[in-house]
Amino acid sequence: MMGVSMEEQQGIPTSDNPPSAKIAEACDSYPSSACSIVPLLTPTLPPSSSATTWPPPPEPIGPTPNWVPAGYVLSAGPRTQSRLNLYSLWGLAGKSLAQSDVFHRRLPSDVRHVILAAGSPGGLRSGGVIIDMTTSDPSLAVEIHSAASSSGCSSVDAPVSGGDRGARLASLSIFTGGDETLVTRLTPLLNHLGRVYYMGGPGKGQFCKLANQVTIASTMVGLCEGLIYAHKAGLDLSNYLNAISTGAAGSKSLDLYGNRILKRDFEAGFYVNHFVKDLGICLRECQNMGLALPGLALAQQLYLSLKAHGEGDLGTQALVLALERLNNVSLESGSSKSLAEGKN
């Protein structure tokens, strides 16, 4: 195609090329009813246009619905044929992927099966791009990059942080690894989900996300232990959180989860099951690096105890339950006044 850049041929947005890329998405970890197939829309769908999905899904979970009103063509579905059979649309999903410019995935398991399938990775056409937004082993990101390159495709590892709130508000932190030029080309697409940070070559996005999880693990232990201590000391817990939130102990974890813990709201913004998986990857990488991170190891043991009590589908703020059991106390007998209410 004379006079047409590779980016424009692939439909990947550039500064001079408005959104028109066809995007295939594979999702998992959410209720099957929340994973829908969105038929291919017109490539010239303007940002102001509304999009109709079929079958009608419940309120979308996760960041990618932001792509449809932004003008991108989205075909999405769960990874497994059993779930796709609920819609009798397995064939449509395969055709949509073969026609796609970008394959976006957020699968906490079976990565190799979905991405490194026979033929081109995941069935993506030559010249396509894989965006892997699931937290996984950095070595796997390198493997996917190698397989994609050998098949005439490209890949970027782009795990995210920000929880359910970040997904809803499109304010996620997106840690990218891969070719910097490719990440720059994909940034207009990813900006609809949050802020993009380029961390280096293949696997570096995953390394950044794992370091993020190491930080969160110890932060959550500190937050919950502080609440247990304040409760035992007889402090009003909402007043306590107000007092420390603007000082050196203030943190994003406190802002996101302090109120939820006091309200006994353990609905998952990020599942305990997934966090345990991430911490396991962190510990394996630590072993490979010869690192001793005792705070990380302790946090994983506490979160594993939640799984042992059947609480793996709760949010990470449920860590307080493990510490309550350990100390035979309950914050329920303390103040239930929320942080926001305490500031009024």
Residues in the chain, how many?
344
Q: Is the pLDDT of residue 17 over 60?
A: no
What is residue 333's predicted lDDT score, i.e. its pLDDT? 67
Same domain, 294 and 179: no
Q: How many domains does the chain have?
A: 2
* Arithmetic mean of pLDDT, 139-157: 90
Same domain, 180 and 103: yes
DSSP for residue 317: G
Q: Quick check: 143 and 103 in contact, CB under 8 A? A: no
Among 10-19, 37-46, 112-121, 147-156, name the one with the lowest average pLDDT.
Answer: 37-46
Same domain, 261 and 167: no
Domain endpoint, select from 173, 201, 229? 201
What is residue 197's predicted lDDT score, i.e. its pLDDT? 98
32-51 tens-digit pLDDT: 222 222 222 222 333 333 33
* Arithmetic mean of pLDDT, 190-214: 96
**Region class of 245: left (phi > 0), else alpha (psi between -120 and 50), else beta:** alpha
Same domain, 105 and 160: yes
Q: Which structural domain range is residue 307 located in? A: 208-343
Q: Phi then psi for 15, rounded to 5 degrees? A: -60, -25
What is the CATH classification number for the domain harbouring 13? 3.40.50.720
Q: Is residue 237 part of a domain?
A: yes
Same domain, 120 and 194: yes
Q: Quick check: 75 and 24 in contact, CB under 8 A? A: yes
CA 269 – CA 266 distance, rounded (Å): 9
What is residue 169's predicted lDDT score, i.e. its pLDDT? 86
Domain endpoint, select from 201, 228, 261? 201
Among 135-144, 200-209, 233-242, 318-327, name the one with the lowest average pLDDT.
Answer: 135-144
* Arithmetic mean of pLDDT, 173-198: 93
Same domain, 132 and 78: yes
Q: Is the pLDDT of residue 297 over 70?
A: yes
Amino acid at 154: S
Same domain, 140 and 230: no
Same domain, 175 and 215: no
* Arithmetic mean of pLDDT, 95-105: 48
Same domain, 214 and 281: yes
Among 16-25, 222-231, 235-244, 275-284, name the one with the lowest average pLDDT.
Answer: 16-25
Q: Between 127 and 14, whose confidence is greater? A: 127
What is residue 243's predicted lDDT score, i.e. its pLDDT? 98
Predicted TM-score (pTM) of the model is 0.72
Q: Quick check: 211 and 235 in contact, CB under 8 A? A: no
What is residue 126's predicted lDDT score, i.e. its pLDDT? 76
Same domain, 270 and 151: no
232-288 tens-digit pLDDT: 999 999 999 999 999 999 999 999 999 999 999 999 989 999 999 999 999 999 999
Q: Is residue 116 part of a domain?
A: yes
With a pLDDT cut of 70, the percent of the chain lying above it is 60
Whole-number mean pLDDT of the chain? 73
Same domain, 84 and 137: yes
What is residue 334's predicted lDDT score, i.e. its pLDDT? 53
160-161 and 172-177 beta bridge pairing: antiparallel
Q: Is residue 1 part of a domain?
A: no
Please confirm whether the linkage preceding 55 is cis (ω < 30° from 0).
yes
Q: Between 103 and 200, whose confidence is greater? A: 200
54-81 tens-digit pLDDT: 333 333 334 444 544 444 444 444 444 4
Q: Is residue 68 part of a domain?
A: yes
Same domain, 167 and 39: yes
Which are the catalytic amino acids? 209
153-184 tens-digit pLDDT: 888 999 999 877 888 888 999 999 999 999 99
What is the CATH classification number for the domain harbouring 338? 1.10.1040.10
Q: Between 216 and 147, whose confidence is greater? A: 216
Domain endpoint, select from 166, 186, 201? 201
Annotate 299-317 with b (16+ C-beta within 10 A) or e (fewer).
bbebbebbeeeebbebbbb
Q: Is residue 166 part of a domain?
A: yes
